[in-house]
Structure 1
Amino acid sequence: MVAQYYDLPSLTALTAFEASARHLSFKLAASELGVTSGEISRQIKAIEEDLGVPLFVKRGTGVMLTSAGKDIYSVLASSLSKASDVVRTIKRDRSRNVTIPPAMRSRRCG
């Protein structure tokens, strides 16, 4: 098996974490992502076990981010926002004629 290039949890787990942190609710994150609250809990637990620190603490009927959770959420939210901006730009500009140099036309990705 090839080692991961980035030392990160799975994108599925990071997506669950980001939605949970943004909503401060596993239930709302689950609803947004179309999964169960239990699945969100499992994804968060996997990240916390990998890191060795809690990312959330329970508070009443919701959750709060720990210091580590705030740190990860800040970077993750910023990165996803930037990626979203790039995707929107690409989608907006895709209708323009894109000229591909002849040397690039014969190359295949992958």
Structure 2
Amino acid sequence: MVSQYYDLPSLTALTAFEASARHLSFEIAASELGMTLGEISRQIKAIEDDIGVPLFVRRGTELMLTSAGQDIYSVLASSLAKASNVVRAIKRDRSRNVTVFPAMHFRRD
């Protein structure tokens, strides 16, 4: 089995976390992503188990981010917004010439 290049949870889990953190609701995240509430909960638990800290505090029906959850959410939201902007720009400018670049190898530091 090939090891993951980045030491991150799955993109599915990160997407479930991002939507849950943005809405502060597992139910709304599940609806947005076309997942069940159980799937969202399992994805969040997988991240929490992987990193060893809780991402949310659940108080009755209220859901709040922990400091670790806020840290991860801030980076994810920013990164996804940047990716979204690039995709929108590419879609707007589909007529531009396609340029081919040599493969890039990124270093992990």
Q: TM-score range by the shorter chain?
A: 0.7 to 0.9
The letter for the 2-side match of 1:26 is F
Change (3 A) 1:92 1:52: same
Match of 1:5 in 2: 5
Aligned to 1:81: 81
Counterpart CA distance in 1 for 2:98 and 2:67 is: 48
Is 1:90 paired with 2:90? yes
Q: Identity of paired residues, percent?
A: 81
Instruction: Identify the structure with the greater helix proportion.
Output: 1
1: distance between equivalents of 2:74 and 2:59?
21
Residues 93 and 52 of structure 1, relative CA distance in 2, 3 Å threshold? same
Tell me how far apart the structure 2 counterparts of residues 25 and 59 of structure 1 sit (CA, whole Å): 12
**Runs ≥4 in structure 1, deviation > 6 angstroms?**
none
C-alpha deviation, 1:60, in angstroms = 2.6
| Alpha-carbon distance in structure 2 between the residues aligned to 1:6 and 1:27 | 29
1:68 corresponds to: 68
Which residue pairs with 1:16 in the alignment? 16
Tell me the CA shift for residue 99 of structure 1.
5.0
- Map Cα deviations across residues 44-73 of structure 1 (whole Å, 9 max, x no partner): 000000000000010231310000000000
- The one-letter code of the counterpart of 1:74 is S
Task: Give the match for residue 51 of structure 1.
Answer: 51
Gapped regions of structure 2 (runs ≥ 5): 103-109
Displacement, 1:2? 1.2
Residue 33 of structure 2 aligns with an amino acid whose one-letter code is L
Partner of 2:33: 33
Q: Is there any run of 5+ residues in structure 1 with no aligned partner, and where?
A: none
CA RMSD in angstroms comes to: 1.4
CA distance in 1, matches of 2:37, 2:2: 32
The amino acid across from 1:68 in the alignment is A
2:105: which partner in 1? none
